[in-house]
């Protein structure tokens, strides 16, 4: 019983860290985007203000059961991803669910939330939501291919499908996987563009044409939960990348530096890019990123 | 063994009685129908024991019926799904024409499938196989629509498969002089290499047709969607599994003893992968739910074929587990479509929207099966998908795993399309009158959803019989090594522990659901789907905001080049060529006696003229 309570405490602490870091990153992104576009931009803590404002709103209307469940579905994915991914390497404080699932499980749990939320968005009846969802799913088929190729390359090269296993490989050899499996890293980073949905791959929630797409009927508490889910998910995904390719992090400061640097790749690429149409985006992912994915697999087969 | 005789006697007698009972009383007919499916099911699971075979002789040919753990697994699929589909069929067929015809063929189908799994000799196997083909063919043309296009196509392909199998049986008999499958397996090792290659190919063609594998799948979409939905759930859920049943038998008992067998496996595995990918793409394109599910069945069978063709223990477990899961979720989905068809009269996504509040139980069942189909945890589909990927990765099929992954990710599109098209989206006045389907139709669906949910966390319930079956086929025991009641492992020792994951998911979900709805829920009110934000405008009551035409257009544009080619077109071209040939033949055989007399005269003249050259 005590162990269970301890685990729950660990999960809550991890969640709070992820929430704060994710929200801050979101705020910083807004600031950076603004500076690039020669605006002043909001303060970096603006996202916290927004979140607490949304959380304190009363809910007046709803569109039915699935609509009510949508945000909770989304949160399940974010938190589960966070619990499966080891936040700090070689640290036994909060093991969470690190040893309970592997990469394939992670790939699938990562699709749970978006689909659940898509159902919620569907019940609202807003055509923009559904259009956004189909675009999102199409884009997902696009970027999942190089992403999976990169993961498969890692798995076959190091004979393990677990994240902790891959971290151990890096700890033992002393080199990061981004250096020893560079093609896998390139493919994964290119897939990351689609995962984070910054320009040029932001057609899913394109504010100007789809009224933010899937989230368009959600306000107040709904939006608060979705926003926090997004932030937590951002942090979890970045941590996953750091764990897989950059040897994990032994303390929080190193983790923050590494994740922030990684996060800047899609953000900075995004602020200077226009928007792709869905089929252009999908084909982009099936072009160079998939090519690098192939190279990664070939390298893994040779070095196996 | 009296039980077998009783079971098949009840099936046969029940089929005939049910057919004629319709003339007397409709309710009596329903009861007889249920009885003649459920009673043999009960007898089978209570009375038949493993290893007890029933030898008997027919016209001097000795036959053998019996059951082992492997065939028991498929009997479970057939009879389990058969019973539930039978209960469903009572509700579905209420008030429809030709009930007797439907019930008769339904019972015969269940009987023939059970017959296939208990047959241990090739003759009864073949006879039951043909009964299965005939009864399903009669079901496909039940509606009387598209008999030419759909029915004949199904029949031609089935016939190709059956003749291939018959040829194989004859060749085997000419060598072994018995029809026992056991003897065929024994003799296989001593045959010439050429025969060793051809016999599996002939059998695999027959099984691949029933399992709807590329390129022999073209009958499936039409046949699945044309049969009455109560039957299609059995058709796609259980009948297609007979192909898998045979395929596994052939692969394990024959091909694995062949040094060149690896090529069979590779080709089959790749064909399965291609089937999965192509089936998925075509499923995404469909606007009719029946067609969508039919293509999706083709795709799902692709995964199963890939799993069993890989042939490692994990691959076998994955394939057979997916087979059970597919019977559950595709059975449920076809039932759901049947329920919707009955209540609304159409199954077209572009016509129906927003049924969620009218048919909540059907929605729940569909949602569960869609989650299982998509392979998302915590439902059972995930376990099968996970095992399949792991088996592919650990057995060095790196590109195949990418293909399978592509198929299953793209599958999310049609999964969402199905749910959105029927249940979500705008609620329209046209469908305001729709009510939930009757209990006999809803209860089987909900029951199967519960199974899917339980199997997602405790896959050991089904993995145990699968493991027993595989041990009967000569695999080693994989308990504690590849699976436990709620833990699944791969060959490298990586694992997923399912129970804590389920509990975490439920806890997180409930916490945030409560966070969103708890405080002040009473103060909220439900608003219709017309009351939405459309850039500040308020849509009028009659304004059409339904989004269903061209639903997956962006994705289809991206994959358009792949979909331009269609194997069906080649078959049609081939058929047209044949028709041309037959047309030419018809010109010769005019049916006119005088023309024939002319032919004779011409022939005699030619012979006389060239008699020196010819003789």
Helix (H) / strand (E) element for B551: namely none
Strand partners, B437: none
> A63 to chain B: which residues are within 8 Å by CB?
526-527, 529
3-state secondary structure B410-444: HHHHHHHHHHHHHCCCCCCHHHCCCCCCCHHHHHH
- The verdict on a CB contact (< 8 Å) between B523 and A66 is no
pLDDT at position B535, please?
A: 66
CB B335 within 8 A of CB B441: yes
Cα→Cα distances A72→A228, B419, B497, B511, B533, Å: 11, 19, 23, 8, 22
CB A154 within 8 A of CB B485: no
- The verdict on a CB contact (< 8 Å) between A75 and B512 is yes
Nearest residue on chain A to B514, alpha-carbon basis: A72
- The verdict on a CB contact (< 8 Å) between B554 and A97 is no
- The verdict on a CB contact (< 8 Å) between A115 and B374 is yes
Three-state secondary structure call for residue B351:
coil
Smallest CA–CA separation between B313 and chain A, in Å? Answer: 18
> B386 to chain A: which residues are within 8 Å by CB?
104-105, 108
Residue B551 backbone dihedrals phi, psi, to 5 degrees: -60, -40
DSSP class of residue B119 equals B
- As a whole number, the mean pLDDT across chain A is 87
Rounded distance between C-alpha atoms, residue B234 and residue B84, angstroms = 9
Q: What is the DSSP string of B210-274?
A: HTT-TTS-THHHHHHHHS-HHHHHHIIIIIHHHHHHHHHHIIIIIGGGSTTHHHHHHHHHHHHHH
pLDDT tens for B354-403 read 888 889 999 999 999 999 999 888 888 899 999 999 999 988 888 899 99
**To the nearest whole percent, how much of chain B has pLDDT over 70?**
99
Task: Tell which of A60, A122, A300, A302 to mutate to test the B interface (max B CBs under 10 Å).
Answer: A122
Give the strand pairing for B487-489 and B54-58.
unpaired
pLDDT tens for B15-40 read 888 888 888 888 888 888 888 889 98
- The verdict on a CB contact (< 8 Å) between B555 and A59 is no
Closest by alpha carbon to A135, among A80, A202, A81? A202
> B525 to chain A: which residues are within 8 Å by CB?
60-62
Smallest CA–CA separation between B204 and chain A, in Å? Answer: 31
Rounded distance between C-alpha atoms, residue A293 and residue A147, angstroms = 8
pLDDT tens for A245-263 read 988 888 889 889 999 999 9
Tell whether the model's pLDDT for residue B95 goes beyond 70.
yes
B518 and A CB contact within 8 Å: no
- The verdict on a CB contact (< 8 Å) between A283 and B525 is no
- The verdict on a CB contact (< 8 Å) between B405 and A144 is yes
Q: What is the dihedral of CA B601, B604, B609, B615, to 10 degrees?
A: 170
pLDDT at position B614, please?
A: 65
Residue B60 — very low, low, confident or very high, per pLDDT cuts 50/70/90?
confident
pLDDT at position A91, please?
A: 62
Helix (H) / strand (E) element for B121: namely none
Closest by alpha carbon to A15, among A66, A62, A75, A63? A75
Give the strand pairing for B54-58 and B495-497.
unpaired
B605 and A CB contact within 8 Å: no
- The verdict on a CB contact (< 8 Å) between A134 and B425 is no
pLDDT at position B351, please?
A: 87
Quote the crossing angle between the two packed helices B240-249 and B313-344, to the nearest 10°.
170
A210 and B CB contact within 8 Å: no
CB B98 within 8 A of CB B142: yes
Contacting A residues, span 32-61, partner chain B, CB-CB under 8 Å: 58-61
Q: What is the DSSP string of A175-198?
A: S-HHHHSHHHHHHHHHHHHHHHT-
Q: Mean pLDDT across the stretch B305-318?
A: 89
Contacting B residues, span 346-405, partner chain A, CB-CB under 8 Å: 354, 356-357, 367, 374-377, 382, 385-386, 389-390, 393, 396, 398-399, 401-402, 405
Number of residues that make up chain B: 615
pLDDT tens for A89-104 read 766 666 777 777 788 8
Highest mean pLDDT among A169-173, A229-233, B561-565, B596-600: A229-233
Strand partners, B54: B65
pLDDT at position B497, please?
A: 87
Task: Tell which of A138, A160, A213, A280 to mutate to test the B interface (max B CBs under 10 Å).
Answer: A138
Rounded distance between C-alpha atoms, residue A213 and residue A202, angstroms = 10
- The verdict on a CB contact (< 8 Å) between B357 and A64 is yes
Rounded distance between C-alpha atoms, residue B268 and residue B400, angstroms = 12
Smallest CA–CA separation between A232 and chain B, in Å? Answer: 13
Contacting A residues, span 62-91, partner chain B, CB-CB under 8 Å: 62-66, 68-69, 71-73, 75-76, 79-80, 83
CA geometry: angle B368, A129, B437, nearest 5 deg: 35
Rounded distance between C-alpha atoms, residue B190 and residue B152, angstroms = 40
Residue A211 — very low, low, confident or very high, per pLDDT cuts 50/70/90?
low
Rounded distance between C-alpha atoms, residue B461 and residue B73, angstroms = 12
- As a whole number, the mean pLDDT across chain B is 86
Rounded distance between C-alpha atoms, residue A28 and residue A41, angstroms = 10
Quote the crossing angle between the two packed helices A127-158 and A288-303, to the nearest 10°.
20
3-state secondary structure B20-79: HHCCCCHHHHHHHHHHHHHHHHHHHHHHCCCCCCEEEEECCEEEEECCCHHHHHHHHHHH
Nearest residue on chain B to A281, alpha-carbon basis: B558
Closest by alpha carbon to A63, among B458, B151, B137, B525? B525
pLDDT at position B270, please?
A: 92
B557 and A CB contact within 8 Å: yes
User: pLDDT higher for A291 or B609?
Assistant: A291
pLDDT at position A93, please?
A: 64
- The verdict on a CB contact (< 8 Å) between B413 and A59 is no
> B532 to chain A: which residues are within 8 Å by CB?
124-126, 217
> A226 to chain B: which residues are within 8 Å by CB?
none
Q: Mean pLDDT across the stretch B499-515?
A: 89
Smallest CA–CA separation between A136 and chain B, in Å? Answer: 10
Q: What is the DSSP string of B459-526?
A: THHHHHHHHHHHHHTTPPP-BTTTB-SSEEE-TTS-EEEHHHHHHHHHHHHHHHHHHHHSTTSTT-EE
Tell whether the model's pLDDT for residue A288 goes beyond 70.
yes
Task: Tell which of A63, A70, A108, A131 to mutate to test the B interface (max B CBs under 10 Å).
Answer: A108
Report ipTM for this prediction.
0.92
B524 and A CB contact within 8 Å: yes
Smallest CA–CA separation between B381 and chain A, in Å? Answer: 11
CB B172 within 8 A of CB B199: yes
A140 and B CB contact within 8 Å: yes
> B398 to chain A: which residues are within 8 Å by CB?
152, 156, 297, 300-301
Nearest residue on chain A to B428, alpha-carbon basis: A125
Rounded distance between C-alpha atoms, residue A290 and residue A293, angstroms = 5
Strand partners, A62: B526
Rounded distance between C-alpha atoms, residue B230 and residue B227, angstroms = 8
CB B317 within 8 A of CB B470: yes
Tell whether the model's pLDDT for residue A20 goes beyond 90.
yes
Q: Mean pLDDT across the stretch B515-519?
A: 82
> B377 to chain A: which residues are within 8 Å by CB?
105, 108-109, 112
> Quick check: bond before B215 cis, omega within 30?
yes
Rounded distance between C-alpha atoms, residue B288 and residue B295, angstroms = 11
pLDDT at position A90, please?
A: 66
CB B543 within 8 A of CB A126: no
- The verdict on a CB contact (< 8 Å) between A161 and B496 is no
Q: Which residues contact A237 (CB under 8 A, 6 or more apart)?
A: A81, A192, A195, A196
B287 and A CB contact within 8 Å: no
- The verdict on a CB contact (< 8 Å) between B527 and A61 is yes
pLDDT tens for A155-200 read 888 888 888 888 888 888 888 888 888 999 999 999 999 888 887 8
Tell whether the model's pLDDT for residue B338 goes beyond 80.
yes
Task: Tell which of A134, A162, A221 to mutate to test the B interface (max B CBs under 10 Å).
Answer: A134
3-state secondary structure A86-146: CCCCCCCCCCCCCCCCCHHHHHHHHHHHHHHHHHHHHHCCCHHHHHHHHHHHHHHHHHHHH
A102 and B CB contact within 8 Å: yes
Cα→Cα distances B423→A2, B339, B353, B411, Å: 44, 13, 6, 18
A166 and B CB contact within 8 Å: no
């Amino acid at each position: 019983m005590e162990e269970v309570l301890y685990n729950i405490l660990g999960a809550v602490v991890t969640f709070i860290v992820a929430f704060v870091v994710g929200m801050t990153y979101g705020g910083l992104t807004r600031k950076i985007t603004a500076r690039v576009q020669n605006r002043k931009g909001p303060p970096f803590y603006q996202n916290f203000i927004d979140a607490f404002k949304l959380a304190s709103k009363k809910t007046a209307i709803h569109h039915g059961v699935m609509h009510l469940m949508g945000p909770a579905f989304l949160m399940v994915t974010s938190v589960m991803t966070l619990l499966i991914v080891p936040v700090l390497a070689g640290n036994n404080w909060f093991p969470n669910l690190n040893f309970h699932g592997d990469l394939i499980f992670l790939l699938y749990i990562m699709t749970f939330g978006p689909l659940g939320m898509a159902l919620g968005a569907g019940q609202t009846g807003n055509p923009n939501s559904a259009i956004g969802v189909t675009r999102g799913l199409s884009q997902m088929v696009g970027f999942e291919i190089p992403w999976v190729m990169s993961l498969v390359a890692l798995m076959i090269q190091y004979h393990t499908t677990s994240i902790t296993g891959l971290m151990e490989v890096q700890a033992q050899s002393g080199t990061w996987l981004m250096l020893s499996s560079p093609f896998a890293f390139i493919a994964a980073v290119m897939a990351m563009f689609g995962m984070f949905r910054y320009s040029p791959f932001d057609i899913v929630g394109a504010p100007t044409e789809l009224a933010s797409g899937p989230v368009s009927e959600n306000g107040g508490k709904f939006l608060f939960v979705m926003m926090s889910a997004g932030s937590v998910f951002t942090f979890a995904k970045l941590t996953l990348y750091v764990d897989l390719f950059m040897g994990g992090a032994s303390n929080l400061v190193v983790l923050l530096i590494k994740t922030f640097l990684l996060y800047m790749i899609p953000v900075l690429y995004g602020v200077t890019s226009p928007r792709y149409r869905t089929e252009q985006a999908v084909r982009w992912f099936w072009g160079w990123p998939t090519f690098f994915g192939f190279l990664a697999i070939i390298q893994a087969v040779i070095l196996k | 063994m009296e039980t077998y005789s009783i079971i098949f006697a009840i099936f046969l007698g029940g089929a005939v009685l049910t057919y004629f009972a319709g003339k007397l009383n409709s309710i009596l007919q329903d009861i007889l129908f249920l009885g003649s499916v459920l009673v043999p099911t009960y007898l089978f699971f209570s009375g038949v024991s493993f290893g007890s075979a029933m030898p008997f002789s027919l016209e001097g040919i000795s036959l053998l019926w019996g059951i082992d753990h492997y065939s028991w697994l498929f009997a479970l699929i057939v009879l389990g799904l058969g019973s539930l589909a039978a209960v469903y069929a009572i509700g579905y067929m209420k008030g429809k024409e030709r009930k007797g015809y439907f019930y008769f063929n339904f019972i015969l189908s269940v009987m023939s499938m059970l017959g296939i799994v208990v047959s241990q000799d090739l003759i009864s196997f073949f006879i039951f196989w043909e009964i299965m083909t005939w009864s399903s063919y009669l079901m496909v043309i039940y509606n009387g629509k598209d008999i030419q296009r759909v029915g004949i196509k199904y029949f031609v392909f089935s016939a190709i498969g059956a003749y291939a199998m018959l040829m194989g049986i004859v060749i085997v008999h000419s060598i072994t002089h018995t029809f026992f499958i056991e003897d065929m397996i024994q003799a296989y090792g001593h045959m010439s290499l050429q025969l060793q290659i051809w016999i599996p190919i002939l059998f695999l063609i027959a099984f691949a047709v029933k399992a709807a594998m590329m390129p022999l799948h073209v009958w499936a979409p039409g046949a699945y969607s044309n049969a009455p939905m109560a039957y299609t759930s059995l058709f796609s859920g259980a009948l297609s599994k007979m192909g898998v049943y045979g395929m596994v038998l052939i692969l394990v008992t024959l091909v694995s003893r062949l040094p060149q067998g690896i090529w069979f496996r590779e080709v089959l595995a790749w064909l399965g992968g291609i089937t999965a990918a192509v089936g998925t793409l075509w499923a995404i394109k469909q606007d009719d739910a029946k067609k969508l599910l039919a293509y999706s069945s083709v795709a799902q069978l692709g995964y199963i074929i890939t799993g069993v063709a890989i042939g490692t223990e994990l691959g076998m477990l994955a394939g057979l587990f997916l087979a059970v899961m597919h019977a559950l979720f595709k059975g449920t989905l076809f039932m759901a479509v049947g329920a919707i068809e009955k209540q609304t009269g159409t199954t077209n996504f572009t016509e129906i929207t927003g049924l969620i509040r009218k048919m909540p139980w059907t929605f729940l069942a569909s949602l569960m099966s869609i989650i299982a189909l998509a392979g998302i945890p915590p439902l059972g589909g995930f376990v099968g998908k996970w095992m399949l990927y792991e088996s592919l990765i650990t057995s060095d099929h790196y590109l195949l795993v990418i293909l399978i992954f592509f198929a299953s990710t793209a599958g999310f599109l049609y999964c969402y399309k199905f749910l959105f098209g029927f249940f979500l989206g705008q609620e329209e006045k046209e469908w305001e009158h729709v009510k939930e389907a009757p209990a006999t139709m809803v209860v089987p669906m909900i029951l199967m959803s519960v199974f899917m949910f339980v199997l997602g966390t405790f896959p050991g319930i089904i993995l145990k019989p699968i493991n027993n079956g595989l041990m009967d086929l000569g695999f080693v025991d994989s308990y504690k090594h590849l699976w436990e009641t709620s833990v699944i492992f791969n060959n490298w020792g990586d694992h997923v522990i399912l129970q804590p994951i389920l509990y975490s998911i439920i806890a997180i979900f409930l916490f945030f659901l409560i966070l969103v709805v708890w405080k002040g829920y009473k103060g909220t009110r439900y608003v219709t789907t017309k009351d939405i934000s459309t850039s500040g405008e308020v849509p009028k009551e009659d304004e059409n905001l339904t989004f269903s035409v061209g639903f997956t257009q962006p994705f289809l544009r991206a994959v358009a080049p792949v979909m331009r080619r269609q194997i069906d077109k080649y078959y049609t071209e081939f058929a047209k060529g044949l028709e041309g040939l037959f047309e030419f033949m018809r010109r010769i055989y005019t049916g006119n006696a005088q023309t024939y007399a002319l032919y004779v005269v011409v022939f005699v003249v030619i012979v006389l003229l060239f008699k020196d050259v010819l003789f």
